[in-house]
Amino acid sequence: MKYLTITLCLLVALSSRAVASDTLFIYPAGGQSDAQLAKDRYQCYRWAVDQTGVDPNTLQLPETGQTMVRNKQHGAGNRGFWLGTLAGAALGNALDGHSGGTVDGAIIGASLGNMIGVNKERKGEIAAQQRAQVLANQKAQAAYSYQDRLNDYNRAFSACMEARDYSVR
């Protein structure tokens, strides 16, 4: 069976959780202890989650990789050829009543059946390409939304930490 494959190339940042708050560089500008840093980090984490509705520890990465869509009309040209041959032979025999009509009918039926089947198969390819494009667009939108949500969380977390006299980058 024939498959149409579309590979999505998403941002490298989306393939890992590298943008989560644990990769932010936090400097205790006010001389805070490690214990105070841990307490402030947790409190700011909770506050940022409450403010944004985004928890980077549970936020799911969007699906990446290949999208495979099947052409449901694959092989229609061959089916049309054989069905047209049989139908044309039967019709040619019925109308002419001898083997010459059967052969002529089979040739005409095969040609017409093949043309109809190939056209149907091509329409199936177009439909498969359209379905694949819709899926690719949905994945791209999910990736964009994921990144936006994570950026919102990081901004809120950073604002909280900076308000507690930490330098965040």
The single-letter code of the amino acid at 169 is R
CB-based burial label for 146 (10 Å; 0-12, 13-18, 19+): buried
8 Å CB contact between 101 and 95: yes
Which residue would you say has higher pLDDT here, 32 or 94? 32
Helix extents (H) in 60-166: 76-96, 99-163
Domain ranges of the chain: 3-164
Rounded Cα distance, 81 and 63, in Å: 41
**3-state DSSP of 99-115:** HHHHHHHHHHHHHHHHH
Q: What is the pLDDT of residues 89-132, one digit of tens each?
A: 666 666 665 556 677 777 777 777 777 777 777 887 888 788 87
Q: What is the pLDDT of residues 45-91, one digit of tens each?
A: 999 999 999 998 888 776 666 666 776 667 666 766 666 776 776 66
